[in-house]
Amino acid sequence: MQAWNSFRFVYGRPISVGFAFRRPWEGGHTRTKSALCSEQLLMCGQNLTNAERTIMRNKAISSGIWSFVEPVSLTPTWVHFDRRSGPPACAAGGYPLLRNGSRGNYVLILQDALNNLGYRTGGLDGLFGPVTTNSVRAYQTYKGLVPDGIVGCNTWTALMNDVVGRGRTSTTID
């Protein structure tokens, strides 16, 4: 929230936010490796012209407040930016690499997706612990991936391909 308030000051005018978060199974994310978080965390500027979005994107980049500002080629009709705890798992961008000990919003996204697909993580707590690790390994084994418990590009891509737009299931946790 502090980053958001700082950026509103830098931007210098009100910012309309389309939504701050939509769960993957609700259809909130794209399926490509380069845009695994195109509607993640802060998506805004849908009501702006292309020129106004360019100004917002450039201010987001130059402000130094955000650790990630999605390129216009991936989000041409909105501006997406957020703070991340590490580099993206895929070379082209997207979610960060996660492993046992990781914590935060992206772990929540991971847990939400795994639970939706029936891989129980013990809840939605944003903490990548032993139960989440075991769920990731089980999912990786099912998908024919290396079951190392590390959520990198291949695991994120497979997971989002399986869960995006799936809708609520009996294993979804609220």
88 confidence band (pLDDT: 50, 70, 90): confident
Going by C-alpha positions, the residue among 93, 61, 60 that lies closest to residue 74 is: 93
Say how far apart CA 27 and CA 10 lie, in whole Å.
Answer: 31
pTM (predicted TM-score): 0.69
Q: May I ask the CATH architecture of the domain 88-163?
A: Orthogonal Bundle (1.10)
Q: Across all residues in the chain, what is the average pLDDT?
A: 82
Q: Are the beta carbons of 160 and 29 closer than 8 angstroms?
A: yes
Return the higher-pLDDT residue of 7 and 117: 117
Return the higher-pLDDT residue of 12 and 140: 140
Question: Looking at the predicted structure, is the pLDDT value of residue 142 above 90?
Answer: yes
22-73 residue pLDDT tens: 677 776 554 443 333 333 456 778 888 999 999 999 999 999 888 778 788 7
Going by C-alpha positions, the residue among 46, 69, 55 that lies closest to residue 11 is: 55
Return the H-helix or E-strand segment holding 132.
Answer: helix 130-143
Q: Please, is 27 exposed, middle or buried when counting C-beta atoms within 10 Å of its C-beta (0-12, 13-18, 19+)?
A: middle
- For the ranges 53-57, 72-76, 146-150, the lowest mean pLDDT is seen at 72-76
Q: Which segments of the chain belong to CATH 1.10.101.10?
A: 88-163
